[in-house]
Amino acid sequence: MIFVVVAAAIAVTMALALARAILGPSHYDRILAVNMFGTKTVLLLAVMAFMMGRPDFLDLALAYALINFIGILAVLEFFRDKAPKVERPKDV
């Protein structure tokens, strides 16, 4: 019973993260929301694994976490390269 409540709470937070990813005012808000969605997906996979009595699904959750981490780093690097360069004044 507790796993069902936890899975429902995680699903609600995933929906909120998806809403922030769609409505976010800046690119970084959207990236943060997608990262949170990926993290909540890993948590949901772990909860579902224990609900079904299949702890071997935790390997899938770990693989998804690594893919999520590398993907977010790649997207952040992409947006960093596209950001306008600002020159700082030199100290005299």
Query: Kind and range of the H or E element at 31?
Result: helix 27-51
The C-alpha angle 73, 75, 77, rounded to 5 degrees, equals: 70
pLDDT digit string (tens) for the chain, length 92 residues: 898 999 999 999 999 999 999 998 888 899 999 999 999 999 999 999 999 999 888 999 999 999 999 999 998 888 877 766 667 777 76
pLDDT for position 92:
60
Token representation of residue 72: 């977010």
Global pTM reads: 0.79
Tokens of 43: 């948590």
Which domains, from first to last, does the chain contain? 2-82 (1.10.287)
3-state class (DSSP) for residue 92:
coil
Closest by CA position to 80, among listed 10, 8, 14, 31 = 31
